[in-house]
Homo-oligomer: A and B are copies of this chain.
Amino acid sequence: MEESTGLEQMICFELYAASRAMTGLYRPALDALGITYPQYAALRVIWHRGRITVRDLGAALRLDSGTLSPLLKRLEHQGLIRRERGTHDERVVWISPTDAGTDLEHRVADLPERLACALDLSAEEFQTLQHLLGRIRGAATRTI
């Protein structure tokens, strides 16, 4: 029996700790590929869309340009993505995976499933969690 810390009843803390625990679960696999967890999340969206603006990527990840600009610069330096100024509207920057980036996609194809297994949740629990997290995110972002 652990000593009480007064945090047990705080959903916010559970969320914060669970989120960090989860990225820790991804870390060994991602370290081997030379990318971080937020970089991986960004790549998932880029792979899925094929070609996306920094703005839309930020909307998908809920991250602003202050976070994304340096992150994308690092992915570009690693040769995983390409950045091109839009020709029609020169304010926008289009992101797309390079060949090396697409290659990486195939090497991590089984990662989500492997790690979902590690969590040992039933399909039903999984769905419940997803629903509740969505509602939290909705409520929290709406209030702002």
Interfacial residues, chain A to chain B (CB-CB below 8 A): 3-7, 9-26, 37, 41, 44-45, 47-49, 56, 60-62, 112, 115-116, 118-121, 125-126, 128-130, 132-137, 139-141, 143-144
Contact = CB atoms under 8 A, between A and B. Distances in A.
Number of copies: 2
Contact of A11 (B10, B24, B45, B129): B129
Nearest to A136: B18
A44 B137 CA distance: 23
Contact of A115 (B12, B22, B133): B12
Contacts of A10: 44, 112
The 7 closest A-B pairs by CB, nearest first: A6-B48, A21-B140, A19-B19, A5-B60, A14-B133, A18-B133, A25-B140
